[in-house]
């Protein structure tokens, strides 16, 4: 009777250890999958950050403008402010009135 109890207890302990090991292996597989997903997202983030730095550079902005159809100005013109009342009124009337709509 005592020998049978010891065998049953040993079997139960070994069964519990095997079940815990299975849970541990499954959890480790989930952790590994999450780490792989994190690594992929980090690689994508690094690529997007590098692309943003390239586009945000002066050369990137110039290329974007050219691709959008903008052209370089033949010369640079500095605009200066005009004192109110020094310009002649528009010939066609007020372009901002509701009647111009």
What is the tens place of the pLDDT at every residue in 7-50?
A: 999 999 999 999 999 999 999 999 999 999 999 999 999 999 99
pLDDT tens for 49-64 read 999 999 899 999 888 8
In the numeric block, the tokens 């519990």 are attached to 16
pLDDT band at 79 (very low <50, low <70, confident <90, very high): confident
Rounded CA gap, 37 and 25, in Å? 18
**Which structural domain range is residue 37 located in?**
7-58
Q: What is the pLDDT of residue 16?
A: 93
Residue 91 placed within a domain: no
Residue 38 placed within a domain: yes
Residue 31 placed within a domain: yes
Strand (E) positions, the chain? none
Q: What is the pLDDT of residue 82?
A: 85
The Cα-based distances of 56 to 27, 51, 52 in angstroms read 43, 8, 6
**pTM to 2 decimal places:** 0.47
Residue 34 placed within a domain: yes
Residue 17 placed within a domain: yes
Residue 75 placed within a domain: no
Residue 1 placed within a domain: no
Structural domain count, the chain? 1
Residue 67 placed within a domain: no
Q: What is the pLDDT of residue 81?
A: 86
């Amino acid at each position: 009777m005592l020998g049978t109890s010891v065998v049953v207890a040993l079997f139960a302990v070994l069964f519990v250890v095997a079940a815990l090991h299975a849970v541990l292996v499954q959890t480790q597989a989930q952790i590994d999958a999450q780490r792989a997903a994190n690594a992929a997202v980090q690689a994508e983030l690094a690529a997007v950050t590098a692309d943003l730095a390239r586009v945000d550079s002066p050369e990137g902005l110039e290329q974007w403008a050219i691709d959008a159809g903008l052209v370089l100005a033949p010369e640079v013109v500095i605009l200066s402010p005009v004192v109110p009342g020094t310009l002649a009124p528009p010939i066609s009337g007020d372009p901002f009135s509701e009647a111009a709509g």
